[in-house]
Amino acid sequence: MPGFPIMPAGSAPPLAPYSPAIKAGDWIFVSGMLPIDSTGKTVGVANVEIQTRHILEAIKSTLEAAGATLNDVVQNQIFLKSMRHYSEMNGIYGQYFPKNPPARYCIKADLVKPEFLVEIVSTAYVGR
């Protein structure tokens, strides 16, 4: 493997064979974060704002474990179960990326479990 896995303390258990993140050179690739706690329980059932906040906090702690911050994020990929949640998700998202937000896209997609309303994948660059 050209990089090494990032396994932040207290992170949610992966639902499949993957690492929460991989650091490869100056790049950090954060896997799709889901609204699950460290025991694997879904947080914020039926509430996209709670799920979005939980996911962004998980991304933040994963990046910190790799020596990065949210300011190092260059792209986010957002998957929503329903586009009717777009505005609510965006309200929380904007609190985490208030200035110079990263590139991103947002699509509607079926997620791994029916109670998941949002999933976010991040890519960060820490080269100076």
* Gap between the Cα atoms of 85 and 65, Å rounded: 30
Give me the amino acid identity at 26. D
List, for residues 25-35, the tens digit of each pLDDT value.
999 999 999 99
| Residues 55/92, Cβ–Cβ less than 8 Å | no
pLDDT at 84: 98
Q: Which residues of the chain have pLDDT under 70?
A: 1
Give me the amino acid identity at 35. P
Going along the chain from its start, the domains and CATH numbers come out as 4-125 (3.30.1330.40)
Tokens 């479990």 correspond to: 113
What average pLDDT does the structure give for the chain?
95
Q: Does an H or E element contain 56, and which?
A: helix 48-65
Question: Encoding tokens for residue 115?
Answer: 């109670």
